[in-house]
Amino acid sequence: MDKFQAAFEILYFLSTVDGHVDDREVQVICDFLSANYGKVDFNPKQVIDIIQSMTSQGMLEELQHAALVFKGGSSAQDRNALLDFAFKLIAADGKIAEVEKDLFIILGNTWNVDIPKFLANMR
């Protein structure tokens, strides 16, 4: 897994925890990755199929792995851009579910980001 696939998985997991992910949401994620990190060089459909076959525990472990992969292959600026987009993604429907908040905090903890400070700086 490279940092692009890791970023996709992170954003996909955040999108899917509230139920269903529409193909348009997947396209928005891919567009974000292309605009910010370059060419998407993996098959999103194949990654989605693998993720959908995982147990809840497997998904959590995969999210943590993806967060570590992305951390290892990115700059602090890359991580902040991804966190910013991730927050906008989970807040897009006007409410943030507890599980979305939990996953967002896991990302912040994995990347050594002070989430309350990060959120305060977004305002």
pLDDT digits (tens, 9 = 90+) for 50-95: 988 998 899 889 999 999 999 999 999 999 899 999 988 888 878 8
pLDDT tens digits for 18-41?
777 777 788 888 889 888 877 778
Q: How far is CA 97 from CA 19, 54, 87, 90, in A?
A: 11, 21, 12, 8
Phi-psi domain of 68 (left: phi exceeds 0; alpha: psi -120 through 50; beta: other):
alpha
Residue type, 42: F
Hey, which CATH number is domain 3-122, 1.10.3680, 1.10.287, 1.10.357, 1.20.1690? 1.10.3680
- CA atoms of 51 and 56, how far apart (whole Å): 10
Quick one: pLDDT at residue 123? Answer: 59
Q: How far is CA 24 from CA 12, 15, 28, 52, in A?
A: 12, 11, 6, 17
- Whether pLDDT at 106 is above 80: yes
